[in-house]
């Protein structure tokens, strides 16, 4: 498998955690976003959307981190990243999608560049944007978990897709200076996850292309 990603990309970070949980090895191809490596013709041939990650596996190219993670889960079922019970699976997917579909797109490089370059926003304006949308999304995640019994991970005794999405988003919140004190459950899950080698070794600072 050849995995195209970037150390600080949170959707790449999600995939790295999934690889590690499943003990899968892969060849890593760094795609430095700040240098525009994802906008080259060569990269667009892999992903016409010009976004990392992309995974080459078995003669196919897969894109979109949630699709990649479900592909890995279906082709390497142990340990499972989704629960067996259909209702809980739906809740896990909903939690993951709050982050991957509602929060993350609003903090993406191209969106922040657009705010600065096309809409003329300064640091204060961009920070207001990030605080609003990341804060609102994490508050929803905290509320979703608060409805459930206490557990070390988002949905029980083992980490899965929800935790895979949460930890990179919490990392991004720190990077953007968002206060997460109001989200004790999310913070506790993050601590439990980061104590595991699969999460710790996936951290941006531990990647070969970390700046």
The residues binding ligand GSH (CB under 6 A) are 9-11, 33, 38, 51-53, 64-66, 100, 108-110
Helical (H) or strand (E) element with 30: strand 27-30
The least distance separating ligand GSH from the CB of residue 38, rounded to whole angstroms, comes to 5
The least distance separating ligand GSH from the CB of residue 152, rounded to whole angstroms, comes to 25
Which C-beta is closer to ligand GSH: that of 104 or that of 190? 104
Cβ–Cβ under 8 Å, residues 72 and 62: no
The least distance separating ligand GSH from the CB of residue 112, rounded to whole angstroms, comes to 8
The least distance separating ligand GSH from the CB of residue 146, rounded to whole angstroms, comes to 26
Cα–Cα nearest to 54, from 108, 109, 104, 5: 5
Residue 28: CA count within 13 A, CB half-sphere? 18
65 vs 200: CA distance, rounded Å: 19
Tokens 């490596």 identify what position? 37
Residues ≥6 apart with Cβ < 8 Å to 174: 180
Order of strands, sheet of 27-30, starting from the edge strand that comes earlier in the sequence: 27-30, 2-5, 54-57, 60-63
The least distance separating ligand GSH from the CB of residue 64, rounded to whole angstroms, comes to 5
Which C-beta is closer to ligand GSH: that of 75 or that of 146? 75
Which C-beta is closer to ligand GSH: that of 46 or that of 154? 46
Which C-beta is closer to ligand GSH: that of 64 or that of 131? 64
CA 21 to each of CA 2, 4, 69, 73, 105: distance values in angstroms, whole numbers, following the listed order: 17, 18, 11, 10, 25
Which C-beta is closer to ligand GSH: that of 53 or that of 83? 53
Which C-beta is closer to ligand GSH: that of 88 or that of 108? 108
Rg of the Cα trace of the chain? 17
The least distance separating ligand GSH from the CB of residue 83, rounded to whole angstroms, comes to 21
């Amino acid at each position: 498998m050849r995995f195209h990603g970037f150390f600080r990309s949170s959707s790449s970070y999600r995939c790295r955690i999934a690889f590690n949980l499943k003990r899968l090895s892969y060849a890593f191809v760094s795609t430095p976003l700040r240098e525009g490596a994802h906008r080259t013709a060569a990269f667009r041939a892999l992903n016409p959307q010009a976004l990392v990650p992309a995974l080459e596996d078995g003669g196919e190219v897969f894109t979109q981190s949630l699709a990649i993670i479900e592909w890995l889960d279906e082709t390497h079922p142990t340990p499972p990243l989704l629960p067996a019970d259909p209702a809980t699976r739906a809740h896990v997917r909903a939690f993951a999608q709050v982050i991957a579909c509602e929060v993350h797109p609003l903090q993406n490089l191209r969106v922040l560049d657009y705010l600065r370059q096309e809409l003329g926003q300064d640091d204060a304006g961009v920070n207001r944007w990030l605080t609003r949308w990341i804060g609102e999304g994490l508050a929803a995640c905290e509320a979703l978990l608060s409805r459930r019994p206490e557990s070390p991970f988002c949905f029980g005794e083992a980490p899965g897709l929800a935790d895979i999405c949460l930890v990179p988003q919490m990392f991004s919140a720190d990077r953007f200076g968002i206060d997460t004190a109001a989200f004790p459950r999310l913070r506790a899950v993050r601590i439990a996850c980061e104590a595991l080698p699969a999460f710790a070794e996936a951290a941006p600072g531990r990647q070969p292309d970390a700046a």
